[in-house]
Every structure is written in structure tokens, then in C-alpha cells.
Amino acid sequence: MALLTGRISLRDVAGGLRKKYADNLWDNASDVKPALRAVLLRMAPGVLGCCMYCGGYTATDIEHFEPREHDALKTFVWPNHLLVCGPCNSTYKRDWWQCDEESGEPLLIDPTRDNPFTHLWLDFRDYEYRGLTRKGRSTIEVLGLNLPERRLAAGRELARRNIRTVLRDWDRGRQQADETSMRHALAVLEGQPFADVWQAMLRQAVLPGAPVVMSDEPPEILTLLRDEELRAATLIEFPLELAPSEEN
Ligand SMILES: [Zn+2]
């Protein structure tokens, strides 16, 4: 990919020549794309490989975070690649690109380096996201994270119900010193779509206002969400280490 980026950099920007050359390389990169997709798939959440933007749909498309239309030089730059679902890629994000005028920061959460919970709050009353920052609000808007037609809120609600069942299984396994049941429960947690719901539950459960904010959470579930052993096994800390060398 570095070699291809080098080749692109030699092309003139004028007249769209660089962009045209990069597009052609990308469209014909049959030797690069399968490997790229395979590495991204290992990083995507859920057993089916869920979308790195919305977390709910199966990821099918290699997406350029900074669109090739904006900077052709980013066509083959590793951290600029994500694995996302068709709707996020083709219907919502598309070639959208906008940065904060002062900081130059993109107004879209970058799953490879941003902590999404700095920018987004999952409201467990309606399973919609609220933006905590300008970047968060813009991300919700661009990706349509709360749009009824995407049915993401319904998916998040279902995920939360499943998580409660799995937590009870995990706890029963622990009481019976049944490590296999505990391991299976954790595999179900990690394998299901909407990893964001589980991570939001873990984070909100330890806030001072948790009993109010998560008032419909059964008390035994709230206790489990605060359990140190479970948190150590499943809480994802940011920033993530996403270099491909780390995976091998
Ligand atoms: Zn998506």
C-alpha cells in the first residue's frame, strides 16, 4: 500500500489526474483488497463482523474515512480504511467530509482513534444517541444513527435485553464454578451486534447517577455491570491499538 501511495503522489493534482489515477488503482486493486478486508474483519465487532460506524449491520464495504474525492493520497493509507455496512457507506456517509474550522478535526467520529463515548451518549430511555460534542452531533446526523428507517434503536433495545440474559448466565456459571458456562457467556457478549450497547451499559453503570439514569435496569444486573471481574474481561479502553502488526 505504501508503494501504491508513492505512485499516486507522483501524479499531478491538476486536472484531477491524481484522483483519476488513484481511482483506477483502487478499482483494480484485486491483490490488495482481500488482505485488507481480512485484517479489517478481524477488528470488526461481532461474530459476523459488524459495521464500524453503526455497529448493527454486517460490514460488507471497505470505506475510506477521508474520502478519496477529498484526498486521493489517502486511497491506500492503512488507518483511513474501515469495514462498514452498505447503508452507512452508500446511503449515509458517502463522500461526506467536513472539518472544524478552527481545529481542523473531522466532524465525524473516527473509529480507529476516537473514543466514541467522549462524543456520544446512548439514552436508554429511547435507545437513541445524543451528541455530547459537535463531532458527536454531526456523526449522528451524517450516519443517521437515530433514523427510524434504520431500525438501529430497536436493535439496541434487543441487544440490551440479550445482554441481561447473558449476564445472568455468566453469574450462574460463576456461582457454580462452571468456567465453561462463563466463557460461553462472554463469547455471546462479544459475538453479538451492537457492541456499543454493552460498552455504554458498562460505562453508565458506574456513574454516580446510574440508579436514576438506568432506572429500568434490574438491581442484580446493575450490580453485575459493576462487577470487577466482568469489567476486567469485557470493558474496552480507548484509544484502541489497531496497527495490523499487533494482530499477528
Ligand atoms: Zn453501518
DSSP 154-186: HHHHHHHHHHHHHHHHHHHHHHTT-HHHHHHHH
* CA 123 to ligand 1 center in whole angstroms: 19
- Give the Cα separation of 80 and 110 in Å (integer): 9
For the entire predicted model, the pTM comes to 0.92
* CA 87 to ligand 1 center in whole angstroms: 6
Angle, CA of 59, 81 and 234, to the nearest 5° = 60
Instruction: Please tell me the predicted confidence (pLDDT) of residue 239.
Output: 75
Low-confidence ranges of the chain (pLDDT < 50): 244-248
Instruction: Please tell me the predicted confidence (pLDDT) of residue 212.
Output: 83
Instruction: Please tell me the predicted confidence (pLDDT) of residue 222.
Output: 95
* CA 57 to ligand 1 center in whole angstroms: 6
* CA 119 to ligand 1 center in whole angstroms: 18
* CA 51 to ligand 1 center in whole angstroms: 5
Which residue's C-alpha cell is 434490574? 218
Residue type, 217: E
* CA 83 to ligand 1 center in whole angstroms: 9
* CA 48 to ligand 1 center in whole angstroms: 13
* CA 52 to ligand 1 center in whole angstroms: 7
In DSSP terms, which residues pair with 82 in a beta bridge?
63
